[in-house]
């Protein structure tokens, strides 16, 4: 498929889930799987379902699958296959990794999080702070829902040990330049700890170019199975003492942070999800999603109040808004009755909604490469008619 244009109907043909007459604008909460991902998981369970370490074919096939999954993950994030690991989900992995880092922290050390974060990159630090008497500081966001970099810089001190931040906000779509945050962190001797869960389906991840120290994401947000994935810089993985059972191997480095038997069938689905994105090409995906976002923004009815950037510059195609005269829940419910899948609430972006004064949350519309211009037009028409 061309890396410059996206044949949306051909893409949609890969997904049995999209044959249902239900425009899905719920991608920020979890995406659909192409048939290739489903088939890969089923094929593993049918023919190779075994644990590792056995002197027989299915066990060796499982070991080969794990190696393939590590290579696919390394390609996905731009790192060595030793600098990554899999887990149940981003939040569980983040509790594990923050707890591991906590072995090196002292009372009074400081962590900076942002008001744009998903709580999966806030609560692990708050819990660690309670246990170790750390200080958690919040970098504010501006009225346009961009990160207030001046406020972030003002929070830095010689005691700062981590800056935790989202690459893209799961609530309002704001993109945060990872390299800029990493440079600020490293100037003060802190770690740059990136949550790329929401960004991952919308653009390529490059941990080397971004110079982040830790990055987490979730394959179920980019057409894969329910799984978590992390990257951590080699010197950190070598230095950190993991929480693990004694017989578990220490190599590759990332494996020592993977507890228990791995979800092998999900790894098969993950490899297929990476193949799916590779076959489309990032140029085509980014251009298509930008067009969808511009179409949506241009057609929003006057009764809609958008929270976040008013153009596609500096954002991904995720939009939070309210409709005059209707609560977020009422708007989402009525759209659901009309056959549209959208979200309402705070989507675990607790600080965002608090900062915006939205106690009842907002409506969230999120687009991904399998959405079509026709679906966007239908949604806009429905919004105008509510």
Give residue-wise pLDDT tens across range 295-313: 999 999 999 999 999 999 9
Amino acid 249: pLDDT: 87
Assign 157 to helix, strand or coil.
coil
Summarised one tens digit per residue, pLDDT across range 213-225 is 999 999 999 999 9
Query: What strands, in cross-sheet order, belong to the sheet with 304-307?
Result: 304-307, 318-323, 362-366, 343-345
- Side-chain-side CA neighbours of 225 within 13 Å: the count stands at 23
Give the tens place of pLDDT for each residue, 134-186.
Answer: 999 999 999 999 999 999 999 999 999 999 999 999 999 999 999 999 999 99
What pTM was computed for the model? 0.97
Positive or negative, the CA dihedral 39, 41, 42, 46 is positive
- Residue 216 sits at φ, ψ, to 5 deg, of -125, 150
Q: How far apart are CA 378 and CA 190, in angstroms?
A: 47
Q: Minimum mean pLDDT among 1-15, 202-216, 279-293: which range?
A: 1-15
Extents of the domains making up the chain: 8-23+281-385, 40-277
**What is the tens place of the pLDDT at every residue in 80-121?**
999 999 999 999 999 999 999 999 999 999 999 999 999 999
Q: Which pLDDT score is estimated for 3?
A: 46
Length of the chain: 386
Q: Which fold has domain 40-277?
A: 3.40.640
What is the mean pLDDT of the segment spanning 332-344?
Answer: 97
Contacts of 260 (CB under 8 A, 6+ apart): none
Euclidean distance between CA atoms 315 and 298, whole angstroms = 15
> pLDDT of 262-293, one tens digit each?
999 999 999 999 999 999 999 999 999 999 99
CB 359 within 8 A of CB 41: no
Residue 1 has pLDDT above 50, yes or no: no
Nearest to 146 by CA among 113, 168, 123, 179: 168
Question: Kindly report the CA angle at 237 between 158 and 224, in degrees rounded to 5?
Answer: 110
Tokens at residue 91, please? 């939040």
Rg (CA), the chain: 21
**Rounded Cα gap, residues 242 and 256, in angstroms:** 6
Q: Given this model, what pLDDT does residue 333 score?
A: 98
Instruction: Give me the chain's average pLDDT, please.
Output: 97
* Region 8-23+281-385: CATH code: 3.90.1150.10
Measured CA distances, 248 to 55, 211, 271 (Å) = 18, 30, 24
- Would you state the pLDDT for residue 5? 87
Q: Please check the confidence at residue 341 and state whether its pLDDT lies above 90.
A: yes
Under 8 Å between Cβ of 342 and 321? no
Q: What is the pLDDT of residue 2?
A: 40
220-269: per-residue pLDDT in tens? 999 999 999 999 999 999 999 999 999 988 889 999 999 999 999 999 99
Closest residue by Cα to residue 355 from 178, 148, 167:
148
> Are 329 and 360 within 8 A, CB to CB?
yes
Q: Tokens representing 57?
A: 């074919």
Q: Which of 168, 163, 153 minimizes the C-alpha distance to 118?
A: 168
10 Å Cβ neighbour count for 234? 13
């Amino acid at each position: 498929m061309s890396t410059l244009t996206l044949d949306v109907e051909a893409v949609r043909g890969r997904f049995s889930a999209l044959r249902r007459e239900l425009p899905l604008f719920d991608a920020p909460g979890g995406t659909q799987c192409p048939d290739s991902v489903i088939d890969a998981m089923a094929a593993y369970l049918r023919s190779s379902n075994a644990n590792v370490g056995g002197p027989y074919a299915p066990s060796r096939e499982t070991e080969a699958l794990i190696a393939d999954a590590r290579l696919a993950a390394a390609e996905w994030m731009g790192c060595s296959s030793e600098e990554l690991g899999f887990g149940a989900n981003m939040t569980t992995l983040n509790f594990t990794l923050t707890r591991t880092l906590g072995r090196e922290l002292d009372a009074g050390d400081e962590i900076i999080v942002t008001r744009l974060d998903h709580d999966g990159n806030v609560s692990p630090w708050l819990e660690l702070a309670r246990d170790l008497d750390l200080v958690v500081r919040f970098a504010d966001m501006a009225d346009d829902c961009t990160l207030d970099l001046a406020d972030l810089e003002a929070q830095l001190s010689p005691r700062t040990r981590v800056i935790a931040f989202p690459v893209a906000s799961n609530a309002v779509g704001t993109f945060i330049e990872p390299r800029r945050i990493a440079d600020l962190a490293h100037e003060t001797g802190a770690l740059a700890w990136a949550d790329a869960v929401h960004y991952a389906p919308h653009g390529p991840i490059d941990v080397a170019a971004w110079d982040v120290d830790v990055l987490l994401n979730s394959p179920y947000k980019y057409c894969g199975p329910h799984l978590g994935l992390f990257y951590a810089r080699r010197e950190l993985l070598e230095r950190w003492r993991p929480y693990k059972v004694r017989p578990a191997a220490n190599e590759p480095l990332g494996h020592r942070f993977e507890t228990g038997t791995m979800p092998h069938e999900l790894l098969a689905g993950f490899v297929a999800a990476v193949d799916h994105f590779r076959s489309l090409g990032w140029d085509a995906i980014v251009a298509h999603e930008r067009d969808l976002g511009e179409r949506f923004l241009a057609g929003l009815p006057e009764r809609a109040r958008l929270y976040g950037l008013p153009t596609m510059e500096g954002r991904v195609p995720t939009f939070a808004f309210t409709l005059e005269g209707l609560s977020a829940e009422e708007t989402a419910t009525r759209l659901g009755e009309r056959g549209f899948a959208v979200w309402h609430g705070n989507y675990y972006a607790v600080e965002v909604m608090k900062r915006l004064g939205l106690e009842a949350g907002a409506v969230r519309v999120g687009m991904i490469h399998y959405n079509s211009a026709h679906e966007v037009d239908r949604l806009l028409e429905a919004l105008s008619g509510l």
